[in-house]
Amino acid sequence: MASDNPTIDLSKLVGISIREDLPMETVNQVLSNPPFIPIALALNLRTVSSQTLASNIVYRSGALSHLPATSLSLLKSALGIVTIFDLRSRGEREKHPSPEVDGIKTVWIPSSIDIEPNASMVETATTKGVLEKDKLSLQGVELYDFVSNGGEPGYISMYTNILKTHKEPYKAVFQELKDGQGGILFHCTAGKDRTGVLAALIHALLDSPEDIVALDYGMTRVGVEPFKEMLLGTMLERMGRGSEMTLQDLVKEVPGFEAMAGVRGPTILAFLRSLNKNYGSAIGYFAEGNILYSGAKCYLVEELGFSVEDLNKIRQRLVVHS
């Protein structure tokens, strides 16, 4: 899962803060090579990649609503995708509807937030010291929760909430991976959080090495670079801020924003480790020695309702067979 150009150190590139601009020559080179798919105007489109994962089955991306028909058609003809799972909220879909693509079924299943929009999943940390106009709730987590430790407390809370709010959409994806034929693509708006959590669960099921999981998550840092201004506008709208603000303004003025908007590989690993505490009984389901991602696997069994046999069937479909 590396660029074809050995001079580009992806691990360092993805670690650059979101407040800095990446060199576009380098970005374009990375986006033109695996795991990215070089389709015009595609936002963060790539395979979910690991040494153990067969190619041309699982794809991830940001929103597809801005893509022209010529690009959309390639999802079927060039990539073999037959099902798209839209993980966005009802409101996001109303503003930017999912496109129709010939030969591809688009699936949207409402999260619990869409069904019960006032439901709070967890108690959040205090927002003392944060201006009211800068309070931005993400899956029930406030910006202040991202202030310390590189944002890890906020991310663990937010991603734990996503596991709860998106149980039904995630279940549908794994059901398709078990019983379906052809490639699937799942996406949210930027392809970072709701998409990133789902990709991490797939990696956990396949026992992907931690460095691969971290890099797959961190590659979003490169994937969103050409779209930073567009995504910033979306964020400013949600915060009630003026469109004239820059990313640098927000990083400087709003505590926690830089970490919340960033993409750090260690973040997803911290989240997966936290699941081992929440779902520790998973060790009893799986073979001894196969416990690195025991909590994530237990979530698939206890929360999504899959049997160990189901998960083995998914593994058999997804893993590379020698």
With a pLDDT cut of 70, the percent of the chain lying above it is 87
- Stretch among 126-140, 141-155, 271-285 having the lowest mean pLDDT: 126-140
d(CA 209, CA 206): 9
**Helix (H/G/I), strand (E/B), else coil: 186:** strand
- Stretch among 43-47, 226-230, 291-295 having the lowest mean pLDDT: 291-295
- For the stretch 45-88, pLDDT in tens is 999 988 889 888 999 999 999 999 999 999 999 999 999 999 99
The predicted pLDDT at position 284 comes to: 61
DSSP-assigned beta bridge partners for residue 53: 319
Model confidence at 133: pLDDT above 60 = no
Model confidence at 110: pLDDT above 50 = yes
Sign, Cα dihedral of 93, 97, 99, 105: positive
d(CA 281, CA 296): 11
- For the stretch 181-216, pLDDT in tens is 999 999 999 999 999 999 999 999 999 999 999 999
pLDDT bin (cut points 50, 70, 90) of residue 120 is very low
- Give the pair of three-digit tokens for residue 170: 């995630």
The predicted pLDDT at position 132 comes to: 41
The predicted pLDDT at position 283 comes to: 54
Distances (CA, A) of 252 to 32, 69, 291: 33, 39, 41
Closest among 199, 187, 202 to 93, alpha carbons compared: 187
Q: What is the pTM of this model?
A: 0.91
- pLDDT averaged over the chain? 87
Radius of gyration, CA atoms only, the chain: 19
The predicted pLDDT at position 320 comes to: 84
CB 293 within 8 A of CB 272: yes
Model confidence at 129: pLDDT above 50 = no
Strand 81-86 versus strand 183-187 pairing type = parallel
> How many other β-carbons are positioned within 10 Å of the β-carbon of residue 289?
6
CB 213 within 8 A of CB 200: yes
Closest among 108, 104, 105 to 96, alpha carbons compared: 108
Average pLDDT of span 252-264: 90
Domain annotation for the chain: domains and CATH numbers: 10-318 (3.90.190.10)
Model confidence at 290: pLDDT above 80 = no
Average pLDDT of span 120-141: 45
